[in-house]
């Protein structure tokens, strides 16, 4: 497949590693890049070091995973070092996901990023696992979402993605509000929830935080619906993710409107080779259907 145009950036492949636990060290991210990911999103970076929640923070269930990592981070300075290792060992597009408790903290963190390494900034305004610490995510409304994007937009020339939550109504209108104040693209979706699992022997929630975000195959239909709504409301491109484990999943995400597909939890099911498997499957699908990739994006809206 030829390079994929995403706004002003060209991706060497159409799969993107979603922000998560695997995106911490430069070498682990480089391994994913060599497995066929055209873009690598690091775990969300905070300005300073954050411990996150105590263990247990992850639980697997039949249809997916529930996690409450709590936005742990090694801080901007250490993250820059790891992203530099990634840059030196891959040709993938590097997406720095950032997090802040205020719009000012988002801005301060973005300004600390190494601009010689980072290609795109993703504003993670939608984590569902830190309500007790920060209250409702910024992505809960058009006004608060736009407020963060507008503030950061004035501080950097780097392309800005906004990661949105499926947990609030009108995700399409929220995406449009972000576009109106300068967002260059949308990442959707973040985890669903928060949800809860209970240990039937101890009678207690399985996570130390009690609740956590739900990911994996169970959320695929929600992701497809959200991307479909976003595509109807914006002109900027979308990285679509949520429950992708195979080629058919990625195709549905693209048909709903995503220019690129993203994988996070799917790596736990298929390993880092999931990108090369899906890419090969998409290429064969395009050959069989005699259709160009660019015509596949959002095709469900035109048929």
- Cβ(103)–Cβ(246) below 8 Å: no
Report the candidate in 283, 108, 295, 291 with the shortest Cα–Cα distance to residue 275. Answer: 283
Which of 127, 178, 226, 303 is the catalytic position? 127
DSSP the chain: -PPEEETTEEESSSEEEPSSTTSSSHHHHHHHHHTT-SEEEPSPB-SS-B--PPSP-EEEETTEEEE-----B-HHHHHHHHHHHHHHT--SEEEEEE--SSHHHHHHHHHHS-TTT-SEEEEE---SS-HHHH-S-GGGSHHHHHHHHHHHHTT--S-EEEE--TTSS-HHHHHHHHHHTT--EEEE---EEEE--B-TTT-SBSSTTS-EEEESGGGHHHHHHHHHHHHHH-SS-EEEESS--SHHHHHHHHHHT-SEEEESTHHHHH-TTHHHHHHHHHHHHHHHHT--HHHHTTGGGT-
- Cβ(208)–Cβ(57) below 8 Å: yes
Q: Confirm whether 127 is a catalytic residue.
A: yes
Q: Indicate which residues carry an active-site annotation.
A: 127
């Amino acid at each position: 497949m030829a390079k994929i145009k995403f706004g002003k950036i060209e991706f060497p492949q159409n799969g993107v590693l979603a922000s998560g636990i695997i995106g911490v060290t430069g070498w682990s991210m480089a391994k994913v890049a060599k497995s066929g990911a055209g873009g690598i999103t690091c775990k969300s970076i905070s300005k300073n070091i954050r411990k996150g929640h105590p263990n247990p923070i992850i639980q697997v269930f039949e249809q997916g995973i529930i996690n409450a990592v709590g936005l742990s981070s090694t801080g901007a300075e250490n993250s820059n070092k790891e992203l530099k290792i990634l840059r030196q060992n891959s040709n993938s597009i590097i997406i720095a996901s950032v997090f802040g408790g205020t719009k000012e903290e988002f801005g301060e963190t973005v300004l600390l990023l190494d601009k010689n390494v980072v290609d795109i900034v993703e504003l993670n305004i939608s984590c569902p696992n830190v309500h007790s610490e920060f209250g409702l995510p910024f992505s809960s409304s058009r006004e608060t979402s736009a407020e963060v994007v507008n503030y950061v937009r004035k501080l950097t020339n780097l392309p800005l993605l906004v990661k949105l939550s499926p947990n609030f109504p009108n995700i399409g209108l929220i995406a449009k509000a972000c576009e109106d104040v300068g967002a260059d693209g949308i990442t959707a979706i973040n985890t669903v929830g928060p949800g809860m699992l209970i240990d039937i022997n101890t009678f207690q929630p399985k996570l130390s935080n009690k609740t956590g975000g739900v990911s994996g195959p169970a959320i695929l239909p929600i992701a497809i619906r959200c991307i479909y709504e976003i595509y109807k409301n914006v002109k900027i491109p979308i990285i679509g993710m949520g429950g992708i484990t195979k080629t058919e999943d990625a195709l549905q995400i693209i048909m709903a409107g995503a220019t690129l597909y993203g994988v996070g939890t799917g790596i736990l099911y298929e390993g880092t080779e999931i990108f090369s498997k899906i890419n090969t499957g998409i290429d064969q699908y395009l050959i069989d259907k005699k259709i160009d990739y660019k015509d596949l994006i959002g095709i469900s809206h035109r048929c």
